[in-house]
Amino acid sequence: MDAVIYEDSPYYDVWIKSLIVLPIFFVLIGVYYVYIKDVPSAVGLFGTGLLMGLIYWLVFPRKYQVMDRKLKIMLGGPFSFNIPFDTLETVGKPEGFNVGLNFATTFISEHAVEIKRKKGMTVNITPGNRDLFLENLNKAVYDWKSGRSKVSV
């Protein structure tokens, strides 16, 4: 079992927060449609609001955990995304435009971390404290490599 070395919460900017509250507006508009007795429209709006809320709950990251042998991106419920250290190519501040898996929670790149993997897509995340996150991740990767080289000798 991997031990958590460092944990950080995602940085959510005002634009992403406004997207997160959008399902509430669909539910409120649904309440208005119930009041004016347009039940089919109300049901559609309630369903849309609930579906959007469920999708947001499942895909927006809750925590970023640096562990002994991997980086774990905690999503909603039982879901998470793991990046084993042996698949890492580079980790750092993003440079230019890239296409990949975006667990980013801001539109501003000052919080972003770009994780290039040897195989697979680049992963982008936005920890609350980028510098401290990178420091702990780089230390964990260094310790993992050091421990790995000792085992193989």
- What does the pLDDT look like over 12-46, one tens digit per residue? 999 889 888 999 999 999 999 999 999 999 999 99
Q: Report, as an integer, the average pLDDT of 55-67.
A: 93
Cα(110)–Cα(21) distance, integer angstroms: 24
Q: How many other C-beta atoms can be found within 10 angstroms of the C-beta atom of residue 147?
A: 12
Residue 128 has pLDDT above 80, yes or no: yes
Average pLDDT for the chain: 89
The pTM of this model reads: 0.84
How far is C-alpha 69 from the chain's CA centre?
19
Q: CATH number of the domain at 4-12+62-152, please?
A: 2.30.29.30
Residue 74 has pLDDT above 70, yes or no: yes
